[in-house]
Amino acid sequence: MMKTKITKKLLLTIKLKTMKAVKIKSAIYTMIIIFCICANLAQAQWNWGGTPFNNRWGQTNNLNPINTIKSIVVGDFTGNGAIPQAALHVNSNFLTPPDGAFFYPQGNVFTTDCPAGNTTAWRMLKGGTEMGVLFNGAANNNLHIQASEPNSSMIFNTGGANERMRITSDGNVVIGSQGKGLVLKAVDGDNYYLLTVNNEGDLQITLIENEQLSAKNTEVK
């Protein structure tokens, strides 16, 4: 009789502990779900994607699309009353520590690196199609600027949307679309010459004074 009572008491104790453990687990799972779903509590969410397991990536989508992160920022944007201007926005002005000390130059906003012997590249895509790429080849130290699409030109603007030069897809270098021409410096002196051509194809060479050159481009070498 005594043995039966002890057994029942032991079973009751085990049952109570089991129920308590289940409640604790349920509470933990509930907290995790709330943390992942509610952007206002989690502030950001990072879900994984990709297979197999060694090819994973983090992504900012949320189970509730309303709470999906729209922009990733570096810096205290909220504290400075600022709104991100891009999907990825880095502002080192908002990173100033209390002591004002940086362990890197504050102007170094973005840096990339890759293993030696590889091609390092920054690519620009539009609708999944590569439009251009800035890269250094694995076998050399040259910097390449590439317009990737067929029949695409490389256009250089200054002072806003003012085209000054373009390199066409067939390799022609066009200078003076909205500018004045080509300025060359004499190889054996300090004179500068402006080369222009009229509609009839006549080439004109004009000596210009150093003071006439833009203050922002005083050295044309």
pLDDT in tens, 20-78: 555 666 666 666 666 555 544 444 556 667 666 677 777 787 777 777 888 999 999 99
pTM reported for the whole predicted model? 0.64
Task: For residues 11 and 91, state if they share a domain.
Answer: yes
pLDDT in tens, 126-171: 999 999 999 999 999 999 999 999 999 999 998 999 888 889 898 8
Task: For residues 72 and 140, state if they share a domain.
Answer: no
Task: For residues 10 and 84, state if they share a domain.
Answer: yes
Domain count, the chain: 2
Rounded CA-CA distance 119/135 in Å is: 7
Rounded CA-CA distance 182/194 in Å is: 6
Task: For residues 83 and 34, state if they share a domain.
Answer: yes
78-84 long-range contacts, Cβ below 8 Å, gap at least 24? none
Is 164 inside a domain boundary?
no
Task: For residues 15 and 91, state if they share a domain.
Answer: yes
Is 206 inside a domain boundary?
no
Task: For residues 55 and 20, state if they share a domain.
Answer: yes
Residue 63: give the domain boundaries.
2-95
Amino acid identity at 105? P
Structure tokens at 80: 């400075």
Task: For residues 136 and 74, state if they share a domain.
Answer: no
Task: For residues 68 and 135, state if they share a domain.
Answer: no
String of DSSP letters for 139-207: T---EEEEE-STT--EEEEETTTEEEEEE-TTS-EEE-SSS--EEEE-TTSS-EEEEEE-TT--EEEEE
Structure tokens at 126: 């539009």
Rounded CA-CA distance 113/89 in Å is: 19
Element (H, E) at 194: strand 192-197
Structure tokens at 30: 């509930």
Choose one of 109, 144, 179: the last residue of a domain.
144
Task: For residues 137 and 54, state if they share a domain.
Answer: no
